[in-house]
Structure 1
Amino acid sequence: MKLKFPLKFSYLLFALLFLTNLSAQIFVPVKWSSRVEKGSNNEVTLVMEGKIEEGWHVYSQFTPEDGPLPIVIDYKNQKGNYTLIGKTSESKTHREFNKDFGVDEVFFEEIVVLKQKIKVLNTSLAKINAAVDYQVCKDRCVNDTKDFTFDVPKMSVEKSEAPAGANSTAAVVDSTANLQESVLPDTIKKTEVKATENPGNSKSGQKKEKQSLWTIFIGTLLAGFLSTITPCVFPMIPMTVSFFIKQSGTKAKGKFNAFFYGFCIIAIYVLISLPFHIFESLNPDMFSEISTNVYLNLFFFVIFVVFAISFFGAFEITMPNWLASKADNASNSGGLFGIFFMALTLIIVSFSCTGPALGLVLGSVLSTDGGATILTIAMLGFGLGLAFPFIGLALFPGLMTNLPKSGGWLNTVKVVFGFIELALAFKFISNADLVLDTHLLEREVFLAIWIAIFGLLALYLFGKISLPHDSKQDHISVGRMLLGLVSLAFTIYMIPGLWGAPLKLISAFPPPPNYSESPEGVGATSGPSASGTKEVLPPGAVYGPHHIVSFEDYATGLAYAKKVNKPVFLDFTGKACVNCRKTENNVWSDPRVLEILKNDVVLISLFCDLRIELPENEKFISKSTGSAITNVGQKWSEFERERYQSNARPYYVLLDLNENSLNEPMAYEPDVEVYYKWLKESVSRFKK
């Protein structure tokens, strides 16, 4: 028997289903597969590979603390069966600064490959179980756990020191976990709509990457150009250009030779970056390891401090004399070959001035996990900036008459570079401190150091202090005075940061606000700790963002809402959720929204990425995925999935006291007006 629906009713039913799916979707943006690679000596490699949908990204296990949630890999049934050899390696990652967390987040795009080498101890071992707990984000974040079961190939008992696999062929064995996919409940499968592709998001990512490349190129171009106005380089410019124009026979040939000289400068700096391409091909994780390496960050700190002291005039850093002599002798051979070595000679003899600037370029790029291509772009920019005056004056020699004369101002430029170099050195030691979590260089200490450095720079520019190689003067130039004003203004700008000001202009440099002696700011005048009489919190409550009274347990929060007769504002969030922080910082801070959140609703924030272990009696198996629910984050993720058919973060639901929705749930919404209207409408429905 077939049921017939009126046409209008069918349209209505279809529209209802469509709208339901828009607000509640189960996102599965990563499709996982696994395999086992056989080695020798009873060694195998477990491989877990995830294909990531376009626009989404998964965070690396090496992403810094206080940022997005890193991958955590749990290798089970180890005891007596196998041992791990080294750490789990990763495929190529990307690094990008996140202003909301104040850290450089490390993440995968398109594909994530995790490899763990193990040595099998129990030759009768048949299976190895592992679980990957990860966060994947696009315009929202999803936390998920993927369970793997690896079939272990038969192992022979080692009877001698000969390699166990000498008489066998190394083979790749696909495990039964290959191409595993999360199992969804039948009710969800029926209404599941594939996550809409967002072409704009992909283009936005490409645009952001291009902007980043241009930023690096322009920044290093400026660094190279500024290096030309130092005592080691500036006097060489008119001498070198005049030499080519006068000694080349014809004006055209002279211009060509000067142009080629500049080209050689650029080529030499680019050549310096080429070995890194080879190193990267041998170890794709090289730049990731460099950028997160504590000892390398400490090394850069020491190098930058030494360079800064050199710029102040305590000593000079020079290349070996024999190297400069050989390059100079080779430059006398004539022709294009000789011009190349003339360029090399300039780079060597001017190293005491260009070396610190070049170190700044190398240190900054290497520490950002940019990859060899980014390094080459940076070196191209630096070389072009350094060569630009030589090329420009060769093409337009008449401009040489407008060049300022050498003098004490060149040393002033060098000293200014020294102050900047010293300030940037503390970024590297801050990175090391954050990784080690020693709290030796917290936000206040970092800012105090920078305030002192740039305050001294202002005094130096105003002529109140002098350094060894400064010329005596009875007045300061207009340019020096203006630069001093900029330094003084910057110093004053940073001072409120000690009292908790966000300092958005330099947010990439100091530690994040929560890495601080006083997270609410020194001498805070607001917040729960600002006064001697603290507000008495309800049992089980904590202070959430903007000091909103919040609950982190659903049952406790619901009971309190019934007690005070207010609707429940259910906030599925995460400690490492970027868009959650954006909403809290940019939307919840609006006075109208904040008024409702503080007075008209009961906030229950369920953190779906908390990896706090659940008591044994609270652990269970997910009905929807079949995965083991073992921690608090998984518990709330499962709650959201089962009740609201969603696994997005952030995800907001307004409920009455019978746990019925007052409005359509809302995912990430950056528009304050839309968010406010949604809140206001929901609260109005509760009061009716």
Structure 2
Amino acid sequence: MKRYILFALFLVVSSLPAFSQILEPVKWTYEQKQVSDSVYDLTFKASIDQGWHLYSTDLPPGGPVKTSINIKPNDGFELDGELQAKSPIIKKFDQTFQMELEYYAHEAVFVQRVKLLTDKPLEIKGSVEFMSCNDETCLPPTDKDFSFSFNGGEKEAVAAPAEEKTTPVEPIEPVGTKHHGLGWFFLFSFLAGLAAILTPCVFPMIPMTVSFFMHSSESKVRAKMQALVYGFSIILIYTLIGTIVAVTLGPGFANWLSTHWLPNILFFTIFLVFAFSFFGAFEIVLPSSWVNRSDRKADKGGFGGSFFMALTLVLVSFSCTGPIVGAILVESAGGMILKPVIGMFGFAMAFALPFTLFAFFPQWLSNLPKSGGWLNSVKVVLGFLELALGLKFLSIADQTYHWGILDREVYLAFWIVIFAMLGFYLLGKLKFAHDSEVTHVTVPRLLLSIVTFSFVVYLIPGMFGAPLKAISGYLPPMATHDFDLHKIIRDEVKLVNSTSGTYGFKDGDSSTLCEKPKYSDFLELPHGLQGYFDYDQGMACAKKQHKPVFIDFTGHGCVNCREMEANVWSDPRVLERLENDYVIIALYVDDKTKLPEKDWVKSTYDGKIKKTLGKKYADFQISHFGVNAQPYYVLLDNNGKMLTQPTARDLNPDHFVEFLDKGLAEYQKRNDE
């Protein structure tokens, strides 16, 4: 029962907004001053955050985007002279672009004199285009619209920022993170820590914790002290190591730990070992030398065993907590040292709380009724769950490296067998060495077996291509399924419609695309959609077809990505818009495919060379949008400028349809101007 409650709670809690990097280091204000009867000075003032700079209006080719004031021509006025810069300029060799550049720090003021040619009411419109950088990263070019209103013969003007023509290149703003400071950030970090406990690689660690502290000490006082050390160790490890990783290794390390084959195979092995231990195959104990050393140090205040358990928990759970921790790491790497420390502290405090309570009061589990071997039955049930959930780690490595050993139907076959055996165990038809004789089936066992077998029945249609939306995030993608009835029927419908002239293409045909997508031999979009997996190739096709671009930052190991594809992308309204109105570019941030040397890129974020497909686009997401959490959806026009605010995981299809329609409307509006 706990397994299914876990699924439901996880789907609800995981809808909490992911922490994202919100960067707006340059803020513009506008004003005007009357010089004479018909002459005005229009002033554009940029306030620049500490550590950031704004480039000048005159830069050499091949460098960053220069600052430019673009005023739309109008018969009611004329420019009187050139744009004048009124702030001190800094000339320095730029490490990011490897050239000598001029830029402004703290503040930049530009003045453009205009002469009015009419006494009628007049509005002067335009936009400021600029690019801001610090010593480690740059934000993409941004447009800010402005307008100056003149009231005819009275010659009184009111200047105000106009509604932005395009959304600034910045991520989604989670409620409370921008306007309410560190307190709200701590609160959301704390809630995220509680949510992380319901993830599949964290929740099963609770009985391991209880088992350790039940047998680690004969003294209740000493056991409680060890429990406190255990909880404080979790907080210490996350706060210190997380911040150190942010400063030294950057957010890419979180991606490595979540997607690289080595940690994932290690985590899979750990779950497998603990599962067999719960089945009674053997008992996991620390080496006697470690135990003796810990006992000798205990009298002196040594609690190495507690710290070791805390470190093990942090390492095993990092694969599931990586997206949240990774977002905090981005903020740290961006120069915000205090905020990530507070965020990591809040996350770790909530994360450690239930483990500390169970460690402090291990009798909560040991006091359960023991008649009929109930306690051992709980361990066996948890062993089955460990076995099933451990497959997720093997699946991530398999998808990321394209091994092809754990496709969707193979994964489902394992789950069907595991949960069927769990059902038979609950009915007393399967026994282990340490189990007591089951003379009759109790009501709780019966109810739990009904739920288990119902879940098995739910899984079986998945072998033939059923989407299984409730657990889609835990399963390999549909693209790995060999026998997909939905795909077969869809292909036949497309083939029939294409021959009758009612449809533009049949599956496998590239008629809706400009050319064969790179990497399409091992990457595929869900639901038969066609698109690209290379940014430049997709943008080139979008320009050719005069369509906006839908960028999907995704990953093989991204649970939320699979949930979005199964629950939102499958909506007919969403499919229609993605298929007809946009050029889709899916960028995998965790794919380990080696790129040819000509496709290597040097990061503007950390200065390192990115040699794999995943690292290239993980860096692209961070350096261009300040976010490293997936899924992340961005709508762009043909010039690479954002059409509307990006969005992330939201399982409401209506919201996603609104997001796509808003981007398309903005794209059409720009083309009409």
TM-score of the superposition, structure 2-length normalised? 0.48
TM-score of the superposition, structure 1-length normalised? 0.48
Larger Rg: 1
